[in-house]
């Protein structure tokens, strides 16, 4: 006789509820949408701890951005940036571009181009960055000197794979350009 190894959904919900209650008691706040992920994020922030890989990627990006940001600030015109967004099939990119445009305006950066890639229906999202046409065009504009920087929502819009993401940061940084994220890698 075999027994089922399937976890009981009611017990899992109860356990998650206890975890979240404990997180809130330790300083996390519930998000306006009630998202468990947002609650987790506020807990991590309240403890001033970032995932080690995120902290490392943030420090790497900052060091690679240094020369590009100095070069951009020393110019006689506003730095040109390319906005890049990757969405799931059917997702509207406009709200994401709107957030990026607002950030560019706050920084007094000129939006030179906007590129958008959309994940085809049923395809895996972990494709290498060089297989996304919008990202390839973004890299080309950095390489040619058309833009001094790239502005994205978070690192996952470039790549969820740490090695591939690091290679893209290095590609941009070694050209004395910068990669700016609206949400840092050190955010959970």
Q: What's the pLDDT tens digit per position in 52-61?
A: 778 888 888 8
Q: Give pLDDT, residue 18.
A: 61
Query: Which residues make beta-bridge pairs with 179?
Result: 150
Token digits of residue 170? 């290095």
Which DSSP string corresponds to 34-51? --HHHHHHHHHHHTT---
Taking the complete model, does pTM exceed 0.75, yes or no? no
Q: Where are the alpha helices (DSSP H) in the chain?
A: 9-25, 36-46, 52-74, 94-107, 133-143, 162-173
Distance of CA 31 to the CA centre of its chain: 19
Domains (range + CATH), the chain: 9-46 (no CATH), 52-181 (3.40.50.1390)
Alpha-carbon Rg for the chain, nearest whole angstrom, is 20
Q: What's the pLDDT tens digit per position in 127-183?
A: 889 999 999 999 999 999 999 999 999 998 999 899 999 999 999 998 989 999 998
Q: What is the rounded distance in angstroms from the CA atom of residue 165 to the CA atom of residue 128?
A: 9
- Name residue, tokens 């000129």: 110
Distance of CA 16 to the CA centre of its chain: 26
Q: Give pLDDT, residue 2.
A: 45
CB 118 within 8 A of CB 91: yes
CB 61 within 8 A of CB 51: no
């Amino acid at each position: 006789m075999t027994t089922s190894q399937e976890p009981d959904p009611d017990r899992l919900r109860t356990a998650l509820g206890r975890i979240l209650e404990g997180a809130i008691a330790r300083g996390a706040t519930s998000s306006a949408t009630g998202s468990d992920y947002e609650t987790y994020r506020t807990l991590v922030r309240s403890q001033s701890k970032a995932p080690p890989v995120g902290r490392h990627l943030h420090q790497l990006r900052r060091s690679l951005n240094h020369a590009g940001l100095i070069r951009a600030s020393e110019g006689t015109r506003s730095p040109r940036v390319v906005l890049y967004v990757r969405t799931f099939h059917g997702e509207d990119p406009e709200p994401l571009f709107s957030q990026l445009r607002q950030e560019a305006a706050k920084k007094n950066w000129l939006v030179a181009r906007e590129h958008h890639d959309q994940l085809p229906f049923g395809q895996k999202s972990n494709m290498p960055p060089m297989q996304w046409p919008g990202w390839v065009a973004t890299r080309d504009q950095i390489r040619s000197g058309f833009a001094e920087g790239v502005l994205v929502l978070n690192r996952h819009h470039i790549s969820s794979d740490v090695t591939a993401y690091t290679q893209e940061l290095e590609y941009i940084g070694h050209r004395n350009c910068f990669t700016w994220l609206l949400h840092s890698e050190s955010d959970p």
